Amino acid sequence: MQTASGPASDAAILRLDHVTKRFGGLVAVNDVTFDVRKGEVFALIGPNGAGKTTLFNGVTGLIPPTSGSVVFEGREIAGTKPFKVAELGIARTFQNIRLFEYMSAVENILVGEHCRMHAKLWDSLFKLPRERREEKEVTDHAMELLRFVGIERWAHSYARNLPYGGQRRLEIARALATRPRLLLLDEPAAGFTPQEKVELMRLVGKILDSGVTVFLIEHDMKVVMGISKRIVVLDHGEMIAHGTPEEVRRNPRVIEAYLGKQH
């Protein structure tokens, strides 16, 4: 798979500094600060309504923060348009699957390739050699990504006809088609069987090995604890814990947020 490459390091690829998001009088994310380091799997967890997806939306430009700083590879991106965020090297999947149902699996991935294509309108209109070469290259890359995520047998099937787990993998493949250096996964294990969760953990490991840093939201604690190097916990928009899986597991505030004070 053609992606960014390079050794893992402790350098921050993404940093959020005092990020806040308000919707009128509702504070969905309140003064959150942390960094995601290059070459790690970093998890964002918390109860429903904690502000996790709102934070993802702030990073990817869908819903810009009200205040605070979002820095990707040393560049401020708070308020940047989503298409530009993708061009800069951040890709994402969504909590609810968002595929083009009546396009084939390979065509869905070609949509993701668009931001890395260079042929001009006239190249396409007149089928110039540059356009033909690029079309072959992106199609070959799309097939490579389908093999990478394990769904190549459905390459020419409508996305809507893939099994649920295959649709989840297709969404990941489409995100990888943008050749990101940072991949945001929003509840990638939602609705998976135990075996599919194991296979997902292996896929995340492969993505990491390819040189892509992974930042994920996930409710399944076995998945989170099994693949994450560090974890941030949100509750009602506030960061209540930050550390290794073992540190987070033992944190009283995390236990209270998930189980209640009586526990």
Q: Decide: 20 and 31 in contact? Cβ < 8 Å.
A: yes
164 and 84 part of one domain: no
The Cα–Cα gap between 43 and 27 comes to 22
4 and 85 part of one domain: yes
Three-class DSSP category at 190: coil
Which structure tokens are listed for 144? Answer: 């490579």
The Cα–Cα gap between 75 and 148 comes to 30
The Cα–Cα gap between 90 and 182 comes to 5
Asked if residue 94 belongs to a domain, the reply is no
Render pLDDT for 71-113 as a digit per residue (tens, 0 to 9): 999 999 999 999 999 999 999 999 889 899 999 999 999 988 8
4 and 133 part of one domain: no
73 and 10 part of one domain: yes
Tell me what pLDDT residue 38 has. Answer: 97
Q: What sign for the dihedral angle of Cα 202, 207, 211, 213? A: negative
Asked if residue 98 belongs to a domain, the reply is no
Out of 179, 205, 226, pick the residue that ends a domain: 179
110 and 171 part of one domain: yes
Asked if residue 157 belongs to a domain, the reply is yes
124 and 252 part of one domain: no
Contacts of 9 (CB under 8 A, 6+ apart): 37, 38, 39
What value does the mean pLDDT take over residues 54-68?
A: 96
Continuous segment of H or E residues that includes residue 168: helix 164-176
**Closest-CA residue to 213 (of 53, 16, 4):** 4
Render pLDDT for 140-163 as a digit per residue (tens, 0 to 9): 899 999 999 999 999 999 999 999
pTM reported for the whole predicted model: 0.87
Tell me what pLDDT residue 112 has. Answer: 83
157 and 213 part of one domain: no
Please provide the average confidence, as pLDDT, over all residues in the chain. 89
34 phi and psi angles, rounded to 5 deg: -170, 170
Asked if residue 257 belongs to a domain, the reply is yes
Q: Using the predicted structure, report yes or no on whether residue 224 has a pLDDT greater than 80.
A: yes
Render pLDDT for 230-253 as a digit per residue (tens, 0 to 9): 999 999 999 999 999 999 999 999
220 and 162 part of one domain: no
127 and 3 part of one domain: no
Which residue segment(s) compose the domain that 8 sits in? 1-89+182-263
158 and 198 part of one domain: no
Asked if residue 120 belongs to a domain, the reply is yes
In this structure, which amino acid lies at residue 48? N
Number of structural domains (the chain) is 2
90 phi and psi angles, rounded to 5 deg: -115, 130
Tell me what pLDDT residue 131 has. Answer: 63
Asked if residue 95 belongs to a domain, the reply is no
78 and 189 part of one domain: yes
Out of 179, 211, 227, pick the residue that ends a domain: 179
Render pLDDT for 6-26 as a digit per residue (tens, 0 to 9): 334 469 999 999 999 999 999
197 phi and psi angles, rounded to 5 deg: -65, -40
Render pLDDT for 111-131 as a digit per residue (tens, 0 to 9): 888 655 544 444 454 455 666
Out of 136, 161, 179, pick the residue that ends a domain: 179
198 and 172 part of one domain: no
Asked if residue 72 belongs to a domain, the reply is yes
Asked if residue 29 belongs to a domain, the reply is yes
What value does the mean pLDDT take over residues 207-212?
A: 97
- The CATH number assigned to the domain holding 46 equals 3.40.50.300
Across 87-96, 219-228, 251-260, least confident range: 251-260
The Cα–Cα gap between 55 and 58 comes to 5
Render pLDDT for 186-209 as a digit per residue (tens, 0 to 9): 999 999 999 999 999 999 999 999
The Cα–Cα gap between 217 and 37 comes to 16
